[in-house]
A and B are shown apart, each in its own frame.
Chain A
């Protein structure tokens, strides 16, 4: 990804989190702009996988960056900036999901631009229902299992990154993931793939 709009002092590649964080804390909006350019895709994907609707994902992506900007002064730097940001996005997404009215979920429309669109309307519908069942099953998990499952699979973070971002020991995160998957087994572990 090329930045394009940032001066030569900032580049996507080679700018480590430490320099970026120091610049952002000193009020450098360009540095935050670099973070936005660098991580918008990852944050948007995580939000879309949790929420299922592109419009909601856009809104929550923006909210997550604004929340991160406000809280950048409290970031301790224990883990990666990306993990910290994706944890914020995950939480914001589930908060948004909790605010939805039940009737809105019934109106949920399959995403129009998904990669597995094969052309057949019935297949599209089945695939959309399968995706919806995955989203609902994960959303129904209790924390911390939901958070760990979402950060691992929807935000594409490794277990080590999840452990750093949440401040939990790696073995605890592994346990949470295993228990989360065990709780998902009745709904997602059947032979029905839906993919």
Chain B
């Protein structure tokens, strides 16, 4: 084994003090050159024998292909996978466009949000009569009933309007997704 002796020109700068530090490190290294004990290689190999076979990374497997037909086959598989993925994406896009163009009614999938908002509407019916009652007479059940119908009555008339809004709101949100997709280049830090 050849030693790489320190050369002051290594640092591209003349500095006698740094050279003295380097020489001291070199002196230490040359003084510490004890031979490894006999049997160390066997000990290491015994430890290696207990290890499972190493797993190679994917790039090394790719680089290990020596026969050109293997490489071509792998390339064909990769190309087929990419084309298939693109075709599936195209079909999905077409299906979406058909659904959007033909009937907006499928967007009634927002109906779960409509259902809870419709529930206050039955309470809306009694609310005018109930809310009028406390102003007219100091009947005991009046005050307890009136706050809830008043609160419930405010969302109730807007419930149908909200339904329309909910149908339209997904469009801006989709455009946001479109903007975030190609703009997600976070590799600029490199």
Contacts and interface: CB of A to CB of B under 8 A. Distances in A.
Nearest to A155: B29
A3 to B, nearest CB: 10
Interface in A139-188: 149, 152-154, 156-159, 174, 177-178, 181-182, 184-185, 188
Given A54-B34, A131-B31, A185-B18, A70 B25 contact: no
B44 to A, nearest CB: 5
Interface in B39-79: 40-41, 43-45, 47-49, 51, 53-57, 59-60, 64
Given A36-B44, A69-B51, A195 B28 contact: yes
A156 to B, nearest CB: 5
B11 A193 contact: no
A65 B48 contact: yes
Interface string A11-49: 000000000001011110100110011001110110011
B51 to A, nearest CB: 6
A185 B37 contact: no
A65 B33 contact: no
B190 interface: no
Binding site of B, secondary structure by majority: helix, strand, loop or mixed? Answer: helix
Interface stretch (B1-9, B80-88, B104-112): B1-9
B185 interface: no
A32 B49 CA distance: 11
Contacts of A184: 21, 25
Contacts of A61: 36, 40, 44
A153 B32 contact: no
Contacts of A74: 57, 60
Interface residues of A, number: 62
A44 B32 CA distance: 10
Contact of B24 (A29, A42, A113, A195): A195
B34 A188 contact: no
Contact of B6 (A32, A69, A153, A174): A153
Contact of B32 (A75, A111, A174): A111
Given A44-B36, A174-B11, A181-B18, A25 B60 contact: yes
A114 interface: yes
Given A73-B55, A156-B29, A188-B24, A36 B37 contact: no
Contact of B26 (A29, A48, A127, A153): A153
B160 interface: no
B28 to A, nearest CB: 4
13 contacts: A40-B41, A48-B34, A58-B40, A65-B44, A66-B51, A71-B54, A115-B31, A153-B6, A153-B22, A154-B25, A178-B13, A193-B24, A195-B27
Interface of B: 1, 3-4, 6, 10-13, 17-18, 20-22, 24-37, 40-41, 43-45, 47-49, 51, 53-57, 59-60, 64
Which A-B residue pairs are the 6 nearest by beta carbons? Answer: A73-B56, A44-B36, A153-B25, A27-B53, A195-B27, A134-B28
Interface of A: 22, 24-27, 29, 32-33, 36-37, 40-42, 44-45, 48-49, 54, 58, 61-62, 65-66, 69-76, 111, 113-116, 127, 130-131, 134-135, 138, 149, 152-154, 156-159, 174, 177-178, 181-182, 184-185, 188-189, 193-195
